[in-house]
Amino acid sequence: MLQHAFKPLLIKGKALLPVVQGGMGVGISAHKLAGAVAREGAMGTVASVDLRHHHPDLMEQSKTIKDQAGLDALNFEALTREVHLAKATAAGNGLIAVNVMKAVSANTDYVRCACEAGADAIVMGAGLPLDLPEITADHPEIALVPILSDSRGISVVLKKWLKKNRLPDAIVIEHPGHAGGHLGATRLDDVHNEKFGFDRVLSETLQIFKDLQLESLRIPLIVAGGINSHAKVQHYLQSGASGVQLGTAFAVSEEGDAHPNFKEVLANARDEDIVEFMSVAGLPARAVLTPWLKNYINREARLQSNAKADPARCTQGLNCLSVCGLRDGLAKVGQFCIDLKLAAAMRGEVNRGLFFRGADSLPFGNAIRPVRELIDYLLTGQNPAGLTAGVA
């Protein structure tokens, strides 16, 4: 394991490098990326939603399936394959987590599938995962890691889980002002609220641990969003965090599962190219202003004025989200098929896809480098040969 100056991240008794790779769907973090991160001794994450796009045989079968259950079954098969492949790549090192969005309608089944496939951890965000202990009751060996954004949400989850005699094995604290994809705020105006500041949330959470008499359990806190330099890693690991999580920086690595075009779009995005908008899931989101997104934002008001509840508007037939602006006629949120657009991005279709991205500059600028070099830089400050890292 890499030699560095920080304490290990301890999850379920396993000592890990204090770096976590965030889950990114559709198909952006699948077995290649998650396995590569775990192989280095960190925690890699497979994003569970709609992984069939990485399996041509399952996509071919999709053409003849018209019902929800059939499509779900294909995606569960894809998730099982990806977990097995990720663990094979990791070769016993690190941990393989599966990220499941609470906002996904089949979230319970995805969690159960991940457990049965042999995932080491379940990471859940995009909503409060209050029922996660019950869903995983038959798999006590699997680590449970909620993603939350403020101390209030952390307090709610801890108190609910305490009544069920279960506690998180770690907690990811994700800052809506920096993270990519769906953000942990209810409105666009709240994304940059000071209540989400890492130093504040860490301090308030440590006080919650004290109030609930949980200090001795040392539940690891993992900060996520805007971590792009060795200096930031050092600051937060000295301020009460046990680990850091990165998404975009891993997405553009050599081992990232997406098409090279996807990596180029994310790596070359300028500050003015990164925008916030209301997603179809009813949550704020952050992405690159590609031709499709620019056109969508220009038409958003008109599309919202024509919103109507109609199951036929689910263009993929997945009914993937429990709440969908397009399908459910929710005029104040997004009016597009998110699965269709994220899958196009994964395939590198710049003019058609939705390219989620974090707000901050990347550790290696626009360079596409291996996972190992990124982890080395974050933990030691060592720059790869020929590169100037730490651009933030």
CA dihedral 45, 50, 54, 58 (to 10 degrees): 140
Q: What is the pLDDT of residue 160?
A: 96
- Tell whether domain 15-260+363-380 is in CATH 3.40.50.720: no
Residue 345 is predicted with a pLDDT of 97
pLDDT bracket for residue 176 (50, 70, 90): very high
3-state secondary structure 300-353: HHHHHHCCCECHHHCCCCCCCECCCHHHHCCCCCCCCCHHHHHHHHHCCCCCCC
pLDDT at 384: 82
What mean pLDDT value characterizes the chain? 93
The reported pLDDT for the residue numbered 386 is 67
Q: Does the structure show a pLDDT above 80 at 161?
A: yes
* Side-chain-side CA neighbours of residue 249 (13 Å): 32
Averaged pLDDT for residues 147-162 = 96
What is the greatest pairwise CA distance in the chain? 57
Banded model confidence at residue 392, pLDDT cuts 50, 70, 90 = very low
Q: Given this model, what pLDDT does residue 114 score?
A: 98
| 317: pLDDT strictly greater than 80 | no
Res 385: pLDDT: 66
The stretch 232-237 carries a mean pLDDT of 96
Cα separation of 208 and 313, whole Å?
44
Q: How far apart are CA 161 and CA 142, in angstroms?
A: 15
Question: Edge to edge, what strands does the sheet with 284-288 contain?
Answer: 181-182, 284-288, 274-278
Alpha-carbon gap, residue 380 to 60, rounded angstroms: 45
**Nearest-CA neighbor of 265 among 289, 242, 236?**
289
Domain extents in the chain: 15-260+363-380, 267-346
pLDDT in tens, 97-129: 999 998 888 899 999 999 999 999 999 998 899
Q: Convert the pLDDT of each residue in 353-389 to its tens digit.
A: 999 999 999 999 999 999 999 999 999 998 886 676 6
- H or E element that contains 68: helix 68-90
User: Taking 80 as the threshold, does the pLDDT of residue 34 lie above it?
Assistant: yes
Sign of the C-alpha dihedral, residues 124, 25, 329, 74?
negative
Residue 304's φ and ψ, nearest 5 degrees, are -65, -35
Q: Is the pLDDT of residue 299 over 60?
A: yes
Return the higher-pLDDT residue of 189 and 244.
244
Element (H, E) at 100: strand 95-101
